Structure 1
Amino acid sequence: MTATKVGIREFRAGLADFVDSDAPVAVTRHGQTVGYFIPVKQDRAADAVALRAAGEKLDALLELTEGEVEEMVTDFKRLRKAKR
C-alpha cells in the first residue's frame, strides 16, 4: 500500500479525514518526509460496550450512601498510608 504524501499544513487541516481513511499518509515539510501517519481502525462496538460498562459502574457509585462513601475514603487513606 502506497502512502499519500501531504504537507504538514494540509495534514493538520485535514486530520479528521486522514484518521477516518484506510491509507497511510507520508507527512512532508519543505518536500522532505518528516513522518508517517498510519490510521488504526478501532472496533467501535467494543468501545460502546466499554462505555456502557463504565456508565453502569458510575451509576452504582452514585447510588452509594454518604456513610458508604466515607467508609471507602477511610479505607483508601489507610491503604495508601500502609503502602508508603
Structure 2
Amino acid sequence: MSLRVGMRELREKLADYLESSVPIEVTRHGQTIGFYIPVPKRANQSERDAMLDAGRRMQEELIRLGITEDELVADIKDWRRSRDAV
C-alpha cells in the first residue's frame, strides 16, 4: 500500500513523510513523477539488510502497479537512451 501525494503536499509535510514507513507515489498535476520507498532501519540491522527490505517493498509496489521487473528495466533503458541522445 502506498500514499499518492502531490508535490505541494510533499514539500509542506516532507519531514513527516520522511519519517513514515509507507511508500509514497509523488505526483505533479495528477501525473506520477516518482516514488519514495523508505528504508526504515531497525536497531542492529545492517545497511545490506535495510536495502534488501527496500527491494522487497519495491517489489510489492511493482506488483500493486502491475509492472514486471522486465518492463521496468526496459523503461529505464529507454529513458537512458533518450537522455543520452540529447
Question: TM-score, structure 2 length as denominator?
Answer: 0.46
Larger Rg: 1
TM-score, normalisation: structure 1: 0.47
